[in-house]
Structure 1
Amino acid sequence: MSPVRSFSGELNRECIANIIMGMHANTYYYAGGFDDWFLETDSQLTADDLLLYFKSSLHANGGDATSDVDALAEPGTVTLKATDGEYPASGVLYTRAVPCALSGSGRVAVTSEYTAGVTSVTLVETSTSDDLEEWSAWQAVGTSGELQSPNRQYIRFRVTLTSSDPLKTPKLLEIQLHDIPKAPYEKLGFARPVVLDKNGAWEAVLENAFDIIVTGEVNGADTLEFKLPFHDPKRSTLENEKQVQIANDIYRIRTLTDNKREDGRVITQVYAEAVFYDLSFSAEKEPREFNADTADVPMQYALLGTGWTVGNVTVTTKRTWQCTEKNALSILRAVQNIYGGDLVFDSANRQVHLLTFSGTDSGALFSYRKNLKSIQRVVDTRELVTRLYAYGKDGMTFASINGGKEYVEDYTFSSEVRVSTLDCSSFTNPYQMLEYAKMRLAEYSKPRVSYVLSAMDLSALTGYEHEAWKLGDIVTVDDKELGLLVKTRVVRRQYNLQEPWKTVIELSTKLRELGDSSAQWDKAADALSSAELVNRQEIKDMVPFNHLRNSRADDGFAYWVNSGFEVDTENGVSGTASFKAVGVPGMTKSLSQTVYPATRKSYTFSAQIASENLEKGENGQVGVEIVIEYEDGTTETRFIDLI
């Protein structure tokens, strides 16, 4: 490195002497050559700054002409590099080095755009260094983005992009490294609020906080409230929108209230919300249609650009719907309502999970003279129903697939006929409506039983760790005086951190939601998406012309490409025959035909469908797949769920 030169006074701007670029021992001129050089007369960069930049970017290849990746064509995006309009099968991006030096554990979050089954970001690896010269071996990040490389001063990334279609490329939009501070308290019991600074590091532990209450609900609220003496030296660390950590959960302060009591004491009352509430302030989302997609697809759409990622999704339901929600959090709530399961937010790792069931059978027991102080049991039959009618769009019923009955019945609890009607006006598919009605009746046909307990969390005490339970878990309640021995789920809890024996728990035997709530279907009703009834006005607007040839099977399989179907000559509807397929697990059966319609704004697919003893497998689908080819040669595939 050259010595640092300094001078005072004005430069001689008339000087025309040569500038010597390199000199050995102040005697010999440099005998090599330079590819590029520049002279900056007003730079704040030092020689150390230039050296740091050089070492940090030495291996980066996003702008290299010989690289298979391209970080220049679309600003803020890395793609495969196209040659003569075609993309390579794969490419590897090497990023420049950036600061690391984590205070806790690290997690890598990658945001990308891809076409499922065609393009993807297949591998993300990291390497770390303390001096930008000696680097650790490349290591792939964990399944949830956990950083596997050693924690050092600098980190670089190696990202592999792949495509099986030379006309398509994945797009790498963002790589984030999250610093996850180690929690100062491992358990809720006797924990204290920890104020975090803007970098997520600990700023202050509020030892004098009191009345510390964490309120949580399954698929609901997650808030923190506590009080602190106004004159506490650490009161100055409390500011609106600052983050506060409780065990492994992180909250953001929303309100600070200073109250002066009659005795002259001044108390600051703090109300904070889990940081996932910030998702309600995300950039406005455009309406989006989802066609026979699993839940992770709309979840990824909701979280795009938020810094959050999709975690584990164990709900395998597929749904066809239109999302009209405007922000990330409301979309996630709609996903939970439509697909079912439990929405779980991991605020520390900034991940969102959708689990079939978020709890476990904890084995925890609540009983008198042990950890149960009081109990209230409510058995409510005011809304008990044993026969439930359901009506969909334009009066649609499921009678044709339910033995001619427009209702479902359940007399498990009561033999009395108690009738009610379910509003399913958003449903356009009788199969889904029948499934939904059965799910609702399973809830309505039994008494609603709920419990409110005032209990102590014994797991906060040494030697009682086996008594641990958490929100969503199954626990056992034993009260011999009430003749009560029941397993039930923790659906809400108000946990008193300072005094765990004052914790209030709400339990319920109510069936967990399976999705498709009527209110949400009103908001997210199918557009093209689901098999749809045609209303009267739509019929008036139709130009009746059937493009399908031999649609009634009058001429066998003429004009059709058949794989696994047969002609049924005894069960025709508008003609004497129909097409029939007998399902086989693990096998796809199809019947297809290519048509060439005139250009129209919309098309209608009309069919009458019957089923018998139909059971779909885990990935089974029954529906109509439409492949649309446009004038420019591009294609679009849409799937219409029929069952």
Structure 2
Amino acid sequence: MLDKKRTTIARLSEAYKVKRTVSRGNINELELTLPLFVTKHLNMRRVKNEHIDMVKERFLIRFEHGEETEYYVVYKKNKVMDDSDYVTISCYGLGYQLSNQSVKDYNAISYSLSQIGNDLLQNTGWRLGYVDAQFDLKYRSFEFSGSILAGMNQIAETFTALIIWDTVNRTINFYDPELYGLNKGFKTKMGKLMKSVQQELNLDEMCTRLKLFGKDGMSIQAVNPTGSNYIEDFSYFMYPFEQDVQGNVIRHSYYMEDDLCIALNRYKKLVQSNTPTFSSPLLSSLLFSSLLFSSRSA
């Protein structure tokens, strides 16, 4: 246990039921239990645990596991009096401190992630660490009022980034979630570390035709090769329909007749083959519209 200056004031060697919850992209949590009474080894007397009163809200806990070190801030103490008197200590990762600092009416237009992050972290004691290069090549508008912690989460959401907290150095890192981590080639299967697998199919969430609409009724007819305001996909209901290279049906759909599956495949190939023919006039049309708008604005 440490005070606010990170000076060690006690070692909680008597702690038990230590549980750390690691949350991807969010603040980690730590919970531990301290006995209300401990036994002195010299005279085997039970005395009140002096650490109970020393642990105070907002004090820090240093958690060490192997070569890993992480700092937590105490946010709750809960004393339980029963057959085995004890106190549970609940902690959040050190980044939780940023929930007590706030910013009001922050507004940025066309800023990168680093620009926004550095602005929000001014005078907080925290700073940006690693930021994936792609996030500083993107520029976003950003409006925010609230705690700095909520602001960091909103930055991650705006840029689709993964937050990794470094509580030792008080830095906040933003990674590409698709690239973060190391593939160690781990594989599992039923009977090998895996006890059960559950797959749920919810027909209420299934969609074969999706209509797209924007502001003022804007849709996609002008850029859709079919000229329609929707996109569709029947692959789920066609599965496992399959044809060989000669067009002979070798596997049948569970839901659809062979003739319908054949017709849908032909239609899909027709649309794909005509997409390049459609794209060239579309590009010319968009370019002409852009030039026309520019000339009118001049």
Shorter-chain TM band? 0.5 to 0.7
Distance 1:352 1:389, change over 3 A: farther
Counterpart position of 1:355 = 175
Q: Distance in 2 between matches of 1:227 and 1:411?
A: 55
Confirm or deny that 1:333 pairs with 2:153: yes
Equivalent runs, 1:306-325 vs 2, <5 Å = 306-314=124-132, 316-317=134-135, 318-325=138-145
Deviation, structure 1 residue 224: 1.1
Q: Which residue of 2 aligns with 1:280?
A: 99
Q: Does 1:218 align with 2:27?
A: no
8 Å Cα contact 1:315/1:340 also seen in 2: no
1:275 positional shift:
1.4
Find the counterpart in structure 1 of residue 7 from structure 2.
201
Shift in Å, 1:203? 2.5
Kept in 2, the 8 Å contact 1:215–1:224? The answer is yes
What's the secondary structure of 1:321's corresponding residue? strand
Quick check: 1:315–1:339 contact (8 Å CA) kept in 2?
no
Equivalent residue number for residue 123 of structure 2: 305
Gap runs ≥5 in structure 1: 1-194, 417-567, 581-605, 609-643
Going from structure 1 to structure 2, the CA distance change for 1:384 and 1:229 (only over 3 Å counts) comes to same
> Structure 2: how far apart are the matches of 1:300 and 1:412?
46
Shift of 1:376: 4.3
Q: Which has the higher helix share?
A: 2
CA displacement 1:345-378 (0-9 Å, x = unmatched): 1111111111013322133445677655x33423
Matches within 5 A, 1:228-267: 228-232=34-38, 233=49, 234-247=51-64, 248-261=69-82, 263=83, 265-267=84-86
1:394 aligns with 2:216: yes
What CA distance in whole angstroms lies between the structure 2 residues aligned with 1:607 and 1:405? Answer: 29
CA contact (8 A) 1:386 1:410 kept: yes
C-alpha offsets along residues 178-217 of structure 1, whole Å, 9 cap, x if unaligned?
Answer: xxxxxxxxxxxxxxxxx11332133322222222111122
Do 2:190 and 2:196's aligned partners in 1 also have CA atoms closer than 8 Å?
no
In the alignment, which residue of structure 1 is the partner of 2:113? Answer: 295
Residue by residue, what CA displacement relative to the aligned partner does 1:20-48 show, whole Å, maximum 9, x if unpaired? xxxxxxxxxxxxxxxxxxxxxxxxxxxxx
How far has the Cα of 1:400 moved from its partner?
Answer: 2.7
Distance in 1 between residues matched to 2:8 and 2:141, nearest whole Å: 44
Identity %: 20
SS of the equivalent of 1:280 reads helix
Name the amino acid aligned to 2:174.
L
**Mapped partners of 1:381, 1:221: distance in 2:** 31
**Conserved? CA contact 1:209–1:229, under 8 Å:** yes
Which amino acid counterpart does residue 298 of structure 1 have in structure 2? Answer: I
Does the 8 Å CA contact 2:71/2:93 hold for their aligned counterparts?
A: yes
Equivalent position amino acid for 2:3 in 1: D
Q: Distance in 2 between matches of 1:571 and 1:297?
A: 33
Structure 2 residue identity aligned to 1:392:
G
C-alpha change, 1:409 and 1:300, in structure 2 (3 Å) is: farther
Indicate if the aligned counterparts of 1:388 and 1:408 stay in contact, CA closer than 8 A: yes
Q: Is the 8 A contact 1:287 1:325 kept in 2?
A: yes
Q: Give distance in 1, aligned partners of 2:214 and 2:56.
A: 51
Q: State the distance in 2 between where 1:411 and 1:300 align.
A: 47
1:407 and 2:234 correspond: no
Contact 1:315 1:341 in 2 (8 A): no
Q: TM-score, normalised by structure 2?
A: 0.67
User: Any conservation in 2 of the 1:315–1:356 contact (CA below 8 Å)?
Assistant: no
Cα distance in 1 between the residues matched to 2:287 and 2:174: 43
Q: How does 1:119-158 map to 2 (within 5 A)?
A: none
1:230–1:267 contact (8 Å) kept in structure 2:
yes
Unmatched 5+ residue regions in structure 2?
A: 39-48, 240-283
Deviations 1:116-147 (A, max 9, x none): xxxxxxxxxxxxxxxxxxxxxxxxxxxxxxxx
Residues 349, 412 of structure 1: CA spacing in aligned structure 2 closer, same or farther, 3 A cutoff?
farther
Once residues 230 and 184 of structure 2 are traced to their aligned partners in structure 1, the CA distance between those partners, rounded to angstroms, is: 38
| TM-score normalised by length of structure 1 | 0.33
1:78 equivalent in structure 2: none
Whether the 8 Å CA contact 1:196–1:245 is kept in 2: the answer is: yes
* Aligned-pair CA distance for 1:273: 0.8
CA distance in 2, matches of 1:315, 1:309: 17
Q: How many residues align?
A: 230
Cα RMSD (Å) of the superposition? 3.1
Report if the CA contact (8 A) 2:27-2:96 is conserved.
no
Q: Distance in 2 between matches of 1:225 and 1:312?
A: 29
1:298–1:243 CA distance, 2 compared to 1 (3 A)? same
Which one-letter code corresponds to 2:157 in the other structure?
N
Checking the alignment, whether the CA contact within 8 Å between 2:117 and 2:152 is kept in structure 1 is: yes
Q: How big is the shift at 1:301?
A: 1.6
1:400-433 deviation line (CA, Å, top 9, x unaligned): 33333433444454449xxxxxxxxxxxxxxxxx
Distance change in 2, residues 1:380/1:570 (3 Å): closer
Q: Rate the CA distance shift 1:569–1:402 in 2: closer, same or farther, 3 A.
A: closer
